[in-house]
Amino acid sequence: MYPFQRTGALRLQDWLRAVAAGSVLTVAALAALAAGNARAAQDWPQRPVSVVVPFPAGGSTDTIARMLTAPLNEKLGQPFVVDNKPGATGAIGATFVKRAPADGYTMLVASIGVFAVNPFLQKNLGYDPVKDFDLLTVAVRAPNVLVVNPQFPANNVQELVAHMKKNPGKVSFASSGAGSSDHLTAALFWQKTGTDGLHVPYKGGAPAISDLLAGQVDVSFQNINAVLQHIRTGKLKALAVTADKRPAVLPDVPTMAEAGVKEVEVYSWQGVAAPRGLPADVKTRLHGALVGALNDPKMRQKLSENGFEVVANTPEQFSQFEAQELQRWKTVIEKGRIVLD
């Protein structure tokens, strides 16, 4: 029952005047709060910003994060400090960022696994890649390259496929771990060629490449930047790249489509995000600084020399891309009946 309906209560017009007065105070309070938030956003950052990398130091994601810190320091006037929080294929670091305050002082640099694969491989995942983050930009992408030990009896993709069909389940494919982009690329390759390989997961790309060089395993789909020097020195044979066109760093290596296997265009990519609820002005400033750093000619050249292609897209484009990637890898994982080892 409203006040003006009670016995002895305020008259209707008195109650309405009281409500109006309260509304004015509420609006004023909200306006003051908004102004305070705007000032805080304009002053951001006032202290160091933590750049969480959910993988060990030395990998592709860590490399990209560290390349970004110096220009962000310069553009925004505060240190951006990389904080490696590895474990559970990136889930530990991603969950940490999800739980951090959405104030612009914690950001996440992570790869395809964190944003588009983990939800389909890990039960009771501590974060939701769609609901728990403000996506900022896909920083870079790089194709995987199909490499084999020089002693392996295949000099092109068709010879590899023929060998695998004669030896089903026996050709070993090294990966940096179950659910990694190199593992899922191999699974997609098997699905598109009607073959079956032996998956050999490692705890990271470095040990996988080491055993590939030593001939302990036969084949691998590796990030191009991780094996580029080994290809150039002849320690590994490159059969194809999973790009839509030949990369400038490997102009003589065909794409998978050119090699006769279609629909195996795969890019490993690194994206930047923050906890959900980032103030709009902070989000705009941070996105602008990231895109500016990535599009700097010297940065673009350095990334290109290592096989990376700058993407630097908008938050909206990142969201659309993530949705596509989630659907794609969900299909591959379900069809391949892939589970974490």
What is the average per-residue pLDDT within 50-58? 91
> Which of 21-25, 27-31, 180-184, 259-263 is predicted least confidently?
27-31
260 assigned to some structural domain = no
Which residues are 324's β-sheet partners? Answer: none
- For residue 276, which amino acid is it? R
Picking from 302, 334, 294, the residue whose alpha carbon sits closest to that of residue 109 is 294
Residue 112, domain extent: 49-141+270-336
Domain boundary (224, 241, 258) is at 241
Burial of 112 (0-12, 13-18, 19+ CB in 10 A): buried
pLDDT at 33: 47
Asked whether residue 202 falls in the same domain as residue 218, the answer is yes
What is the average per-residue pLDDT within 254-277? 96
Query: Does the pLDDT of residue 6 top 50, yes or no?
Result: no
Domain boundary (196, 223, 241) is at 241
Asked whether residue 137 falls in the same domain as residue 149, the answer is no
Confidence tier at 339 by pLDDT (50, 70, 90): confident
CA–CA separation, 20 and 52 (whole Å):
47
CA–CA separation, 57 and 69 (whole Å):
14
Check residue 258 and report its DSSP letter: T
CATH number of the structural domain spanning residue 159: 3.40.190.10
Can you spell out the DSSP letters for 121-134? T-TT-S--TTTSEE
pLDDT at 102: 98
Query: Does the pLDDT of residue 294 top 60, yes or no?
Result: yes
What is the average per-residue pLDDT within 106-116? 95
Asked whether residue 137 falls in the same domain as residue 147, the answer is no
CA–CA separation, 214 and 208 (whole Å):
10
Asked whether residue 210 falls in the same domain as residue 297, the answer is no
Total number of domains constituting the chain = 2
Query: Does the pLDDT of residue 257 top 80, yes or no?
Result: yes
pLDDT at 172: 97
What is the average per-residue pLDDT within 67-91? 94
Continuous segment of H or E residues that includes residue 299: helix 297-305
pLDDT in tens, 169-215: 999 999 987 788 889 999 999 999 999 999 998 877 888 999 999 99
Check residue 86 and report its DSSP letter: -
Confidence tier at 30 by pLDDT (50, 70, 90): very low
Asked whether residue 126 falls in the same domain as residue 75, the answer is yes
83 assigned to some structural domain = yes
CA–CA separation, 233 and 213 (whole Å):
12
Asked whether residue 286 falls in the same domain as residue 322, the answer is yes
CA–CA separation, 325 and 319 (whole Å):
10
Structure-token match 């938050």, residue found: 315
Separation in Å, CA 189 to CA 70, 161, 185, 305? 38, 10, 6, 27
> Which of 31-40, 92-101, 123-132, 140-149 is predicted least confidently?
31-40
CA–CA separation, 144 and 287 (whole Å):
27
Asked whether residue 78 falls in the same domain as residue 133, the answer is yes
Asked whether residue 152 falls in the same domain as residue 225, the answer is yes
153 assigned to some structural domain = yes
Asked whether residue 211 falls in the same domain as residue 301, the answer is no
What is the average per-residue pLDDT within 99-118? 96
Higher-pLDDT residue of 158, 337? 158
Asked whether residue 222 falls in the same domain as residue 275, the answer is no
Q: Is the peptide bond before 3 cis (omega within 30 degrees of 0)?
A: no
Domain boundary (190, 224, 241) is at 241
- For residue 16, which amino acid is it? L
What angle (nearest 5°) sits at the alpha carbon of residue 81, between those of residues 72 and 207? 110
CATH number of the structural domain spanning residue 74: 3.40.190.150
CA–CA separation, 185 and 112 (whole Å):
12
pLDDT in tens, 123-175: 899 999 999 999 999 999 999 999 999 999 999 999 999 999 999 999 999 99
What is the average per-residue pLDDT within 117-124? 92
Confidence tier at 21 by pLDDT (50, 70, 90): low
- For residue 190, which amino acid is it? W
What is the average per-residue pLDDT within 263-290? 97
9 assigned to some structural domain = no
Asked whether residue 135 falls in the same domain as residue 281, the answer is yes
Asked whether residue 216 falls in the same domain as residue 148, the answer is yes
In the chain, the percentage of residues whose pLDDT exceeds 70 is 87
